[in-house]
Amino acid sequence: MSGSLVLFGPPGAGKGTQAGLIVDLTGKPQVSTGDMLRAAVKASTAMGMEAKEYMDAGLLVPDSVIIGLIEERLTEADASAGVLFDGFPRTIRQAESLEAIANVVAVISIEVPDSAIVERIVGRRMDPETGGIYHVNFNPAPPEIVSRLIQRPDDNEETVLARLAAYHQQTAPLAAWYGERDLLVSIDGDHSIDEVAAAVETVVRGLA
């Protein structure tokens, strides 16, 4: 399949968890703006320091910063046949900018109600060595790596509510925007990780 895919959904929907499966099925590299921003924060770049203020507050990082990051990433050789965008675009302006620089062939929307989101986010744990995503109840890490797991600074109950508000105000309208362009495919994400993976696989195989 040529062209790019977008993984869409609220914070904690399971985008990062399902991204690896789509990478395996399509060979497209995952481009996660959240991961790119966290790498910039860790490296203490000027952009990372600016972005951190927004991330810690649960607000979206300004469009100009995000669009610059994506433009640069898409110039790399592995992006030439399309990528899997994860957590991008998050505003109509980002989607309009993307339209000018990439050919999006499908937007896979993982739908999860707000009532399930807080528990998913507060229980999320990350493996800094492999990037693995775990959950204290829903996807426990193997005991031998538990001691090295970290919790993202923005994965607390207060920030989650701000992130959900930003999602509903600024990001959710994109579903209709992509729907009008006949690109939106929705998946019910309010099931187990394995059940959601099966639905994702069916959708991705159907795109071929």
The minimum distance between CB 204 and ligand ADP, in angstroms, equals: 16
> Residues 38, 52, 90, 120: which is the catalytic one?
90
Looking at 40, 88, 97, 204, which residue binds ligand ADP (CB under 6 A)? 88
Looking at 4, 8, 14, 178, which residue binds ligand ADP (CB under 6 A)? 14
Distance, CA of 80 to CA of 94 (rounded, Å): 20
CA 113 to chain centroid: 16
Please list every residue from 107 through 126 that binds ligand ADP, using CB under 6 A: 120, 123-124
* 181 catalytic residue (yes or no): no
Q: Which of 181, 176, 16 is nearest to 87 (CA)?
A: 16
Q: Which of 54, 138, 22 is nearest to 33 (CA)?
A: 54
From residue 165, how far is each of 57, 97, 123, 174 by CA, in Å? 12, 23, 20, 15
Binding segment (CB under 6 A) for ligand ADP, from list 8-16, 21-29, 100-108, 200-208: 8-16
- Residue with structure tokens 């994506």? 70
* 90 catalytic residue (yes or no): yes
* 124 catalytic residue (yes or no): yes
- Residue with structure tokens 């109600």? 113
Where does this chain bind ligand ADP (CB under 6 A)?
9, 11-17, 33-34, 37, 54-55, 58-61, 66, 87-88, 90, 94, 120, 123-124, 133-135, 138-139, 154, 163, 189, 191-193, 196
Catalytic annotation, residues? 15, 90, 124, 152, 163
